[in-house]
């Protein structure tokens, strides 16, 4: 128990009220005296009648999909700085939970993430970047909770169907190998595993997965279900005792801070296992601040997990900049520590998983909310938010109107907290730049009398943390390099003997998977290439294209020349392309427009205005066959385009009036093996 407070002087009281009123500048003493006497509502914080639910932590999602794609390409020291802002305790967001996509080879929002088992007899636990990211998170916070969740699955699991539950044992085995591989190859202990993101669950599959995990000695790995809505999973659990026993946490997405009766009746932990996904400006920060409190106040959710961790994907892909921070320029090293990082810190730096919410939490009389948490050892953290409707709109769901207005709030500490002498104060004010503060430490608050109460003057769009912990810290690094566009001239020969990551820098796979490849059949110029490695359509989560494609570059590019060596491996129906001005990606990739220059193993070529091949500009025949290298060049200038094959003009003066700009790209006609080498793009910037 902390010591009994000393009697504060009148001068000290005025100083405290300056902090408590949220004023960082000078406030007139007469106004402060009025604040001391101002009428307002009282809120009791008391543990005499026991505690509320156990707090499980605040986290974020990497994946769902390819949201951390560009992060791995950052040069040091900037990459480590970004990771520190996300994971380092008492520095930035200080996240308690990292949830990652179990790559399944399919498009899952902003790109594809590779599976550890592309094919039935294939296992590789070094593909992609989620293994690396989990290790970096653990390096900074050894206590961080790790969660894995599939969005898509490799096609072989479906046996011809777009469905992961054709063979329950096989799918459970696939997921189990990912957990075992994480431990065996990376010494990572996965704490929780999910079912199928925002798609149908199969109760029998969940039971099979639980039994298989137990059989493999993985009893400690808990199951979250169903990463969709509260229903029908909650009702299903109430009707099925074995299912109830198999599931440890009910995870709902974008619950709007509310739960349902059936979920409460299960008496299981309730999590908002995906939330936020809002532009990371001040409105997004307000959304995050509001739901971090109100997910518990309204819905008894003891964990909230943001999609996504860091906006590290091309901004013109869907949901650009919907991460807690932004890191989308590895070529320049520029990144931005956005306001949601510091909103997170108000909770994450002052409460840890294993703490407990007090039962005495709730709404403020004139708008806003408050929560309080304790470690049961005398420490107390109180978080108060007054986010207005206008400045806390999340991308989903619909937010009914509410009003927040100026108010005074008196907090009364009772039970084991009544003798706390001092609280540290951290403050955020969102809105106008002249009045904006992010995670600013104010003077500590000496409680004004032995009854343990203090009064706050609250304006809208504020966030306060009051805590007995003295470890809070607003970490910082020197400003990163200035923002720069993608280089106008970019080339990659893919000559990497032992690549640390399986994917080439800056290429963002939108359908299919493109990996570094050592071509043992060609010891010469094309020994090291980039290869599209899927020969079967995955079990999709989104509307993947019927062609594979990886985009790269600056979305603003208009006039450019793309050159690449290509190698068709499929003898009969094989085909490859290079493209410019590609205007869509992510979940919209199937409808991408652009200028696509195709060659096929049957000796034909095409120029199309879309990825799907419906808009044919020109076509013809040339000396083309499979298993031979060709050099394609595509030039787009204004409203005209031309193409060469091995340096010889193949077509010219093809009119291309739409789109006016977009990414460069490479890809294949279908899910087929093909190789690419000596990629070069030269754009007019």
Cβ–Cβ under 8 Å, residues 607 and 597 = yes
Measure the CA–CA gap between 592 and 615, rounded to whole angstroms.
11
CA end-to-end distance (rounded Å), the chain? 65
For the record, the structure tokens of 245 come out as 């026993």
For the record, the structure tokens of 281 come out as 């400006």
- Distant-in-sequence, close-in-space partners of 379: CB < 8 Å, separation ≥ 6: 467, 468, 469
Query: What's the angle, vertex CA 91, arms to CA 346 and CA 465, rounded to 5?
Result: 20
Residues 73, 79, 82, 87: is their CA dihedral positive or negative? positive
Cβ–Cβ under 8 Å, residues 86 and 524 = no
- Distant-in-sequence, close-in-space partners of 455: CB < 8 Å, separation ≥ 6: 17, 20, 35, 36, 38, 40, 408, 409, 410, 411
311 secondary structure, DSSP code: B
562 bridge partner residues: 634, 681
Q: At what angle do helices 29-37 and 10-20 cross, to 10 degrees?
A: 80
Find out whether the peptide bond into 111 is cis, omega within 30 degrees of 0: no
In the block, residue with structure tokens 């994917």: 503
Measure the CA–CA gap between 27 and 15, rounded to whole angstroms.
9
Closest CA to 124 of 154, 169, 97: 154
Query: What's the angle, vertex CA 640, arms to CA 636 and CA 646, rounded to 5?
Result: 55
CA dihedral of residues 394, 395, 398, 401 (deg, nearest 10) = 40
**Helix H or strand E segment including 203:** helix 203-215
For the record, the structure tokens of 286 come out as 């307000």
- 274: annotated active-site residue: yes
Query: What's the angle, vertex CA 153, arms to CA 150 and CA 154, rounded to 5?
Result: 145
Residues 158, 161, 162, 163: is their CA dihedral positive or negative? negative
For the record, the structure tokens of 433 come out as 């730049």
304 bridge partner residues: 58, 272
How many CA atoms lie less than 13 Å away from 101 in the CB half-sphere?
33
Question: What are the angstrom distances between the C-alpha of 649 and each of 633, 645, 679?
Answer: 9, 6, 19
Q: From the candidates 101, 130, 136, 274, give the one annotated as an active-site residue.
A: 274
Phi, psi of 188 (to 5 degrees): -110, 125
326 secondary structure, DSSP code: E
Phi, psi of 119 (to 5 degrees): -130, 170
Cβ–Cβ under 8 Å, residues 552 and 608 = no
Measure the CA–CA gap between 640 and 661, rounded to whole angstroms.
13
In the block, residue with structure tokens 């070094």: 126
3-state secondary structure 206-274: HHHHHHHHHHCCCCCCEEEEEEECCCCHHHHHHHCHHHHHHCCEEEEECCCCCCCHHHHHCCCEEEEEE
Find out whether the peptide bond into 232 is cis, omega within 30 degrees of 0: yes
333 secondary structure, DSSP code: T
Strands 249-253 and 222-228: parallel
What residues act catalytically? Answer: 198, 274
């Amino acid at each position: 128990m902390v010591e009994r407070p000393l009697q504060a002087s009148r001068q000290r009281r005025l100083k405290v009220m300056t902090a408590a009123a949220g004023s960082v500048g000078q406030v007139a003493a007469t106004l402060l005296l009025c604040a001391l006497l101002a009428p307002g509502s009282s809120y009791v914080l008391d543990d005499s009648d026991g505690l509320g639910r156990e707090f499980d932590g605040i986290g974020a999602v990497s994946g769902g999909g390819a949201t951390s794609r560009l992060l791995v390409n950052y040069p040091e020291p900037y990459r480590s700085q970004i990771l520190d802002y996300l994971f380092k305790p008492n520095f930035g967001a200080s996240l308690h939970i990292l949830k990652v996509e179990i790559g399944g080879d399919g498009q899952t929002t902003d790109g594809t993430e590779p599976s550890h088992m592309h094919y039935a007899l294939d296992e590789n636990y070094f593909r992609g970047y989620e293994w690396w990211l989990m290790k970096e998170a653990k390096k900074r916070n050894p206590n961080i909770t790790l969660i894995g969740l599939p969005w898509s699955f490799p096609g072989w699991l479906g046996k011809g169907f777009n469905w992961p539950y054709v063979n329950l044992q096989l799918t459970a085995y696939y997921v189990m190998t990912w957990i075992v591989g994480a431990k065996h190859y990376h010494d990572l202990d996965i704490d929780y595993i999910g079912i199928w993101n925002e798609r149908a669950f199969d109760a029998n599959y969940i039971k099979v997965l639980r039994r298989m995990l137990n059989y493999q000695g993985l009893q400690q790995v808990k199951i979250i279900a169903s990463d969709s809505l509260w229903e029908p999973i909650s009702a299903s659990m109430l009707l099925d005792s074995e299912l109830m026993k198999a599931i440890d946490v009910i995870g709902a997405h974008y619950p709007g801070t509310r739960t349902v009766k059936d979920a409460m009746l299960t008496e299981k932990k309730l999590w908002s296992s995906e939330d936020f996904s809002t532009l990371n400006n001040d409105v997004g920060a307000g959304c995050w601040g509001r739901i971090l409190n109100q997910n518990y106040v309204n819905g008894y959710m003891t964990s909230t997990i943001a999609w996504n961790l860091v906006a590290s994907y091309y901004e013109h892909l869907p949901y650009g900049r919907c991460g807690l921070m932004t890191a989308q320029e590895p070529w320049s090293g520029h990144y931005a520590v956005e306001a949601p990082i510091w909103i997170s810190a108000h909770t994450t730096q002052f409460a840890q998983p294993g703490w407990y919410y007090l039962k005495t939490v709730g709404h403020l009389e004139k708008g806003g909310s408050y929560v309080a948490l304790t470690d049961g050892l005398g420490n107390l953290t109180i978080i108060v938010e007054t986010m207005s409707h206008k400045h806390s709109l999340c991308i989903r769901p619909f937010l009914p109107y509410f009003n927040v207005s100026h108010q005074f709030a008196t907090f009364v500490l009772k039970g084991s907290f009544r003798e706390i002498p001092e609280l540290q104060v951290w403050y955020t004010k969102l809105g106008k730049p002249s009045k904006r503060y992010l995670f600013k430490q104010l003077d500590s608050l000496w409680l004004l009398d032995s009854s343990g109460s203090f009064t706050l003057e609250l304006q809208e769009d504020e966030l306060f943390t009051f805590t007995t912990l003295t470890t809070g810290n607003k970490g910082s690094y020197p400003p990163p390099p200035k923002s720069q566009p993608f280089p106008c001239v970019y080339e990659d020969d893919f000559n990497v003997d032992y690549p640390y990551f399986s994917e080439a820098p800056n290429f963002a796979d939108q359908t299919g998977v493109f990996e570094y490849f050592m071509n043992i059949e060609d010891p010469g110029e094309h020994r090291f290439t980039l290869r599209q490695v899927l020969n079967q359509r995955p079990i999709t989560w989104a509307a993947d294209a019927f062609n594979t494609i990886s985009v790269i570059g600056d979305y603003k590019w208009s006039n450019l020349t793309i050159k690449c060596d290509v190698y068709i491996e499929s003898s009969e129906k094989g085909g490859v392309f290079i493209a410019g001005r590609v205007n869509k990606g992510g979940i919209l990739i199937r409808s991408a427009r652009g200028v696509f220059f195709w060659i096929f193993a049957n000796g034909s070529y095409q120029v199309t205005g879309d990825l799907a091949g419906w808009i044919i500009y020109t076509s013809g025949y040339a000396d083309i066959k499979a298993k031979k290298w060709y050099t394609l060049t595509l030039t787009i200038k204004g409203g005209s385009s031309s193409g060469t094959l091995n340096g010889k003009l193949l077509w010219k003066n093809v009119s291309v009036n739409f789109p006016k700009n977009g990414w460069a790209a490479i890809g294949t006609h279908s899910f087929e093996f093909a190789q690419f080498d000596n990629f070069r793009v030269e754009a007019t910037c």
